Structure 1
Amino acid sequence: MLQETALEILKTGANVFLTGEPGSGKTHTINRYVSYLRARGIEPAVTASTGIAATHLGGMTIHSWSGLGIKTRLSKYELDKLAFTEYLNKRISRAKVLIIDEISMLGPEMVATVEAVCREIKDNTLPFGGLQVIFVGDFFQLPPVVRNKENNDEQEKLFNEPKSRFAFHSSVWNQANLFICYLTEQFRQDDDKFLEVLSAIRHNVFNDQHLQHLIKRQTEAHLAPKGVPKLFSHNVNVDKVNEEELAKISGEEKEFIAHSYGARPLVETLQKGCLSPERLCLKIGAVVMFTKNNLREGFVNGTLGRVESFGKGSNQPIVRTKDGKRIEVTPMDWTIEENGRLKASITQFPLRLAWAITVHKSQGMSLDEAVMDLSAVFEYGQGYVALSRVRRLTGLHLLGWNEQTFQVHPEVLLKDKAMRLDSEVIENAFISMLPEELKTMQRNFILASGGRENAEEITEKVKKNNKKGETHNETLKLWQSGKKIAEIAKERGLTEQTILSHIEKLVTKGKINRADLKSLISAPLLHALPRIQEVFAKLGTEKLAPVFARFGGEYSYNDLRLARMMSER
């Protein structure tokens, strides 16, 4: 299916699973639909299963949006409690469209739990409470890790979901009556032979002819290009290469130990998901990769560079990225929050040694060049994910492979064939529709969602919101230039409180990263954050006045606003 056809289907308000091979334009199509909705006065809920994907879309994680935090399941009591949480009730009640990216990283249980929360808060028996729901992703990517924990009886009664790693096994998947939109264009790889190889693996028709293309890219470890990321299937190989390469560099080694807060089990959960190690060892000349997104500083997860020096006095690593940008790196936070409360956190420099990385960690990256050893691949799809990281065959340097490298999960393969057929049926049905009929469906959905039929017909209220958006963007530009709150307020002729309100709005829209706010928070306030956030949660409110009154003026409104901003609401 072409992107244009998928976009027209999305505009009708149908529930959709948007899928396709890496580079087929899934994110681009969603961004176009989001722009279409916003132009008509409808603000979609843009979420993803991972923070990285959420940042790409300018949204938040589905765990935060739905109020689940670290949970993947709820009891009836917990579900009722969530439904009466003010900020969550307001958020979900006003939502009309829910987008979940990287759906392959959510298991059936999590999908069912999110659906139950939406249905409960919307007080509507339709799937997801009547929201238009759009799943985005590719099941040939690596699935979520399944933890061997038994469900409690109440959870089984609530959802009765199968023990599976794939979201399409959830009962909700069928109940939502999803239209399959399988994108077939290709925008990432620009090498026909390589596309043919990847497609053969994906369709389970990989043969000797395809293997010959890869054999031509085979090399020995000592002949592989230097300074190019190496991909391995196991952490032990990654650690070995990184330690060996670091040891080759003469000079002083700097050690940075992560600081943690919270209950040990939660901290351990964070450590498993944190790409930066607990003990980070660096030297000048070390090849590193950034492990978080910070658009203000000019890096994203996967940005590569070398340690150029360490800051005088601060001792902070200074990294020169591949595109020549010089960045003095500051520590960032990985957090677990629940109902607006900080439960656990890790503070570490967002770096890791990057002479080598695992295939799992490379997921979502797009590389010009990579050295790969796939001789110990142990999971279906691991080889496919690794190979599809590079854009062309000339960027591939293959050290080895095993039989499983070119295999995909048989269950995903069967489902994929069925989805392709479903997509063709849906595409033909929409193509055969009269243009007037399609436009009527699209118009009816916009009006039913409280939007305006045409972008030109947006009311004065929306125009005022646009003006607000313009003033927020002015604040954003000054913030991104590195100016402080007081400086922005002075330049714009506004109060600091007004500028902070702009900052908060920009944070909720994903235009400013929460981690960047740390520079605004004093040490005493940072220490008090859990206490303040706990009061917000206990009062079940996001309003400042009740919290201000509870503390008897101990904290200023600006302090409370900052504390509220630091919560993923």
Structure 2
Amino acid sequence: MQSVTLSREQQNLFDYIEQSENNIFITGRAGTGKSTLLSYLVENTKKNVAVCAPTGVAALNVGGVTIHSLFGFPFGILAEQDLARHMNKRTREVLSALDVLIIDEVSMVNADLMDAISRAMGIARGRRKLPFGGAQVVMFGDPYQLSPVPGNNEERNHMSENYQSSWFFDARVWREDSLERFELGEIFRQSDEDFKAILNAIRIGEVDQQMLDTLNAAGNRFPSHDEIIRLATINASVDKINKERMNQLTTKPKTFEAIFSASDETAFGRTLPAEPSLELKVGAQVMFIKNDDGKRTADGLVRRWVNGTIGKVVDMPSSGGVVVEVDGERLDVGKATWEKVRYEIDEEFDEETGRVKEVLVTIPLAEYQQIPLRLAWSVTIHKSQGQTYDEAVIDLGRGAFSPGQTYVALSRIRSLEGLYLTRAIRQQDVMVDKDVIRFMSGVRSPIDS
């Protein structure tokens, strides 16, 4: 396991979480290290924690489970559901044993689901009158980047009739319980102060025309080479570009089939972590979709690539796997493994107290193995979430159509020098949800010490 060094504000926030029992929401602009802090917290906390996320891919990325699988929730409106009926003995035991529930990408959780989480934990822990059954909840996410999935007409009507908004922060539980809000401020992705200021203005919807002029002047040029990744708003544009570029290659295609350890792929839900059949050619531009587990060297465990690294396929040996060239270095890439897990109770000896205590452990349920690559001449803005590029072409097409979309696209890039635009960015491309502005006005910086 690689050691992680936290910044001072990350360390301060970790220390505060460790000594606090308060419910905490942690946010931050793109590139401020939210995921780093979450991973460090899971690995180093002395508390019993369970990690969950609203989607299967998000859960896999943090080594956790989906909210619905952790709690046994059915899909749809949960307000009138008999939640106790859906929780088996193991679920109740796990929820009773945890000290902290960690929720990643919480901005995708709607208010109805947040209230259901609180009710279910109260039932499982035998403390129905206490929010979340008295457990601590620590949540990570950026409402300026991702929003709740709208749902069907019935779900949308329910949200509008019963909540101020569909956002997690407007759940009823927060009328009974306080939520501390902290925003990480130090950005590790960009160093240009002017670019950071423009990105922040776009994030909160306060960009002026001069800032847009600066962006458009920087991006109004042809890409320096044709391998620069293109970020587009819709799947159709992405698929078209990747298909065209693949067809231009005259090399022989090779297909890599995923391997399931479970009876079928439904074990991983509706969204698979990688393509079940991946076709590649020598010369194809690809992106890694999973961090390298690490290669052991004399200097310790070295990670050769991270989620989002761009490279080119240079060989597909008959012995298996793929050779990808990244910045002049040839990397041997075999099948990666994604695990679907569940939480169970185990016991371990506590040397400090001299007693045996209950701990939460993850038990593998199923494995999915595939070459951790996807074609990457183009990707959707949504799938670029959490990634960093030295250069990118931003293609907003007919216009951004969801709040935060333009911010997500622009904030993937390290500097203005790496920005290319297919068209000028307009004021109407910068959209921010008014409910997010209301909620985020209450965030503060981590405790300084």
Query: Shorter-chain TM-score: which interval?
Result: 0.7 to 0.9
Higher RCO (Cα < 8 Å, 6 or more apart): 2
Q: Which amino acid aligns with 1:284?
A: V
Confirm whether residue 400 of structure 1 aligns to residue 406 of structure 2.
no
Any idea what SS the aligned residue of 1:320 has? Answer: strand
- Deviation of 1:292 after TM superposition, in Å, equals 3.8
CA contact (8 A) 2:93 2:124 kept: no
Q: Secondary structure at the match of 2:308?
A: coil
Residue number among 393, 412, 427 corresponding to 2:436 in the alignment:
412
Task: Give the C-alpha shift of residue 391 in structure 1.
Answer: 1.9
Q: Give runs of aligned pairs for residues 61-210 of structure 1, distance below 5 A.
A: 61-68=66-73, 71=75, 79-86=83-90, 88-124=91-127, 125-148=129-152, 150=154, 162=163, 165-210=166-211
**Structure 2 gaps, min length 5:** 1-7, 296-303, 345-361
Residue-pair matches, total: 411
Letter aligned with residue 17 of structure 1: F
Deviations 1:128-183 (A, max 9, x none): 110011111110012243331636xxxx8xxx964954212222243331012233
CA distance in 2, matches of 1:275, 1:190: 32
TM-score for both structures, normalised by structure 2? 0.77
Question: Which structure 2 residues correspond to residues 219-298 of structure 1 after superposition, within 5 A?
Answer: 219-221=220-222, 223-256=223-256, 270=270, 273-274=271-272, 276-277=274-275, 280-293=278-291, 295=293
Letter of the 1:357 partner, please give it: V
The TM-score with structure 1 as length reference comes to 0.62
Stretch deviating more after TM superposition (51-60 or 187-196): 51-60
Which amino acid in 1 is paired with 2:134? G
Contact 1:311 1:328 in 2 (8 A): no
Q: Does 1:351 align with 2:373?
A: yes
Q: Is the 8 A contact 1:45 1:98 kept in 2?
A: yes
Equivalent residue for 1:360, pick from 382, 391, 415: 382
Kept in 2: contact 1:274–1:334 (CA 8 A): no
Bigger strand fraction: 2
CA contact (8 A) 1:72 1:109 kept: no
Q: CA deviation at 1:192?
A: 0.5
Measured in 1, the distance between the counterparts of 2:272 and 2:424 equals 28
The amino acid across from 1:45 in the alignment is A
Specify the alignment match of 1:451 in structure 2: none
The 1:276–1:56 alpha-carbon spacing in structure 2 relative to 1, beyond 3 Å, is closer
| Contact in 2 for aligned 1:267/1:346 (Cα 8 Å) | no
Report the secondary structure of 2:154's partner residue.
coil
Distance change (3 Å), C-alpha of 1:191 and 1:342: closer
Contact 1:373–1:401 (CA under 8 A) maintained in structure 2: no
Q: Could you tell me how far apart the structure 2 residues matched to 1:302 and 1:84 are? A: 38
**Is residue 44 from structure 1 mapped to residue 37 from structure 2 by the alignment?**
no
- Which stretch of structure 1 is more off in the superposition, 98-107 or 294-303? 294-303
Instruction: Point out where structure 1 has 5 or more consecutive residues left out of the alignment.
Output: 436-569
Say if 1:53 and 1:346 are closer, same or farther in 2 by CA, change over 3 A.
closer
CA separation in 2, counterparts of 1:102 and 1:44? 17
- Counterpart amino acid of 1:393? L
Per-residue CA shift, 1:356-376, capped at 9, x if unaligned?
A: 000000011122221211243
What do you get for the CA RMSD once the two structures are aligned?
A: 4.1
Q: 1:118 to 1:327 in 2, by over 3 A?
A: farther
What secondary structure is seen at the aligned counterpart in 2 of 1:239?
helix
Measured at CA, do residues 2 and 45 of structure 1 come closer, stay the same or move farther in structure 2, by a change above 3 Å?
same
Pairs within 5 Å for 1:309-320: 309-312=315-318, 314=320, 316-320=321-325
Q: Which has the larger share of helix?
A: 1
1:477-506 CA-partner distances (Å, limit 9, x unpaired): xxxxxxxxxxxxxxxxxxxxxxxxxxxxxx
- Name the residue aligned to 1:24: 32
Alpha-carbon separation, structure 2, partners of 1:230 and 1:358: 8
Identity percentage of aligned residues: 32
Q: Which has the larger radius of gyration?
A: 1
SS of corresponding position for 1:150: helix
Q: SS at 1:135's partner residue?
A: strand
